[in-house]
Structure 1
Amino acid sequence: MALKATIYKATVNVADMDRNVFIDNTLTLARHPSETAERMMLRLLAWMVHANERLAFTRGLSAEDEPEVWQLNDHNGIDTWIDLGLPDERRIKKACSRSQQVWLYTYNGRAAQPWWQQHQNKLAQHDNLTVRYLNDEKLAALGQMASRSMILQATIQDGTIWLSDDVNHLEIQFEQWQEGGKNR
């Protein structure tokens, strides 16, 4: 018998001072049986960083031709493609050709650092690709916030995210590895 996804509910309040975006939303996340709490929470955090009314979770791990999160336009074209992990170069190239903006959130320092060293020159060719890395310590703390029913507040200013629930308070900054085809 196949394992089923576990459903999580997240009520989020996002105040993004950098983009002047303020959103209250209730989201439903399906955690794939092979997905860790940390990865699911990074997916949720990526949604909050790019929050808008049209941003949606996809079938994620269950679909090879979709990112984790995306924003479609009125013509069903992809405006924003948000992926997690360390995808192969072909997947990134395909995403960059199909979407206006591609965001890749990497994690797991032992694997991510060598992956980046191997791929950064080829990925720099994609002007619409931004690559960010979240260190293991912050990812673990983020995973601790996972619960089946969450109420989260996120304030974003100057690239820093302050994320809190009724117990935890995190300050998160991504390490920017690439922005618009330029290495940093």
Structure 2
Amino acid sequence: MALKATVYKASINVADMTRQVYIDHTVTLAQHPSETEQRLMLRLLAWTLYADERLQFTKGLCDESEPELWIKNYSDEIELWVELGLPDDKRIKKACTQSKHVVLFTYGDNAAAAWKASLLNKLHPYKNLTVINVMDEVLDAAAAASSRNMSIQATIEDGQVWFSIGEMVISIQPDMWKTGEAK
């Protein structure tokens, strides 16, 4: 018998002073049986950093043709492609050619450092690619505070993120490895 996904619900309040975005939104996520709580929380953090009413979670792990999150316009063009992990350069090229802006969130301290050393220099041609690394200790703290029904508050200003889950507040300074612009 196949394992079933675990459903999480999060009420998210985002105050992004940098982009002048203020959103109250409720999201429902399915945690794939092979997905860790750290990765699930990275998906939520990614959503808060790029908060938009049109930003949607996709099939992600269940469908390799889709990113973890995306924004599509009314013409079904992908405006924002959000990827998690340490993809190979073919996956990044595909994302960059199919979307106006691609954001890659890397994680896994040791593996991410090795990925950065071997691949980051090859990514300079992709002007629409942003690469952000999130440290394991941040994801571990977020996972420890997670629950199936969460209330999340995120305040973002000048590259600093205050990510609150219930009573726990995590200060996050995402490590920008590459900054890209939408095409």
| TM-score (norm: length of structure 1) | 0.96
CA distance in 2, matches of 1:165, 1:104: 23
Residue 145 of structure 2 corresponds to 145
CA distance in 2, matches of 1:83, 1:158: 23
CA distance in 2, matches of 1:146, 1:84: 19
Name the SS for the 1:65 alignment partner.
coil
Segments of structure 2 that go 5 or more residues without pairing to the other structure are none
Identity %: 53
Q: Does 1:92 align with 2:61?
A: no
Are the aligned partners of 2:132 and 2:175 in contact in 1 as well (CA < 8 Å)?
Answer: yes
1:122 positional shift: 1.2
Residue 31 of structure 1 corresponds to 31
Amino acid at match of 1:105: F
1:138 positional shift: 1.2
Q: Does 1:125 align with 2:149?
A: no
CA distance in 1, matches of 2:123, 2:9: 35
Name the SS for the 2:145 alignment partner.
coil
Poorly superposed stretches of 4+, deviation over 6 Å: none
CA distance in 2, matches of 1:164, 1:10: 12
| TM-score (norm: length of structure 2) | 0.97
Range moving further from structure 2, 137-146 or 74-83: 137-146
Residue 6 of structure 1 corresponds to 6
1:166 positional shift: 2.6
Residue 83 of structure 2 corresponds to 83
Range moving further from structure 2, 137-146 or 169-178: 137-146
RMSD, aligned α-carbons: 1.0
Per-residue displacement from partner, 1:43-91 (whole Å, max 9, x unpaired)?
0110010001110000010010000000001100000000100011111
CA distance in 2, matches of 1:165, 1:131: 25
Name the SS for the 2:130 alignment partner.
strand
1:171 positional shift: 0.5
Residue 162 of structure 2 corresponds to 162
Range moving further from structure 2, 33-42 or 161-170: 161-170
The number of aligned residues is 181
Range moving further from structure 2, 153-162 or 137-146: 137-146
1:36 positional shift: 0.4
CA distance in 2, matches of 1:180, 1:10: 29
Are the aligned partners of 2:146 and 2:165 in contact in 1 as well (CA < 8 Å)?
Answer: no
CA distance in 1, matches of 2:155, 2:117: 32
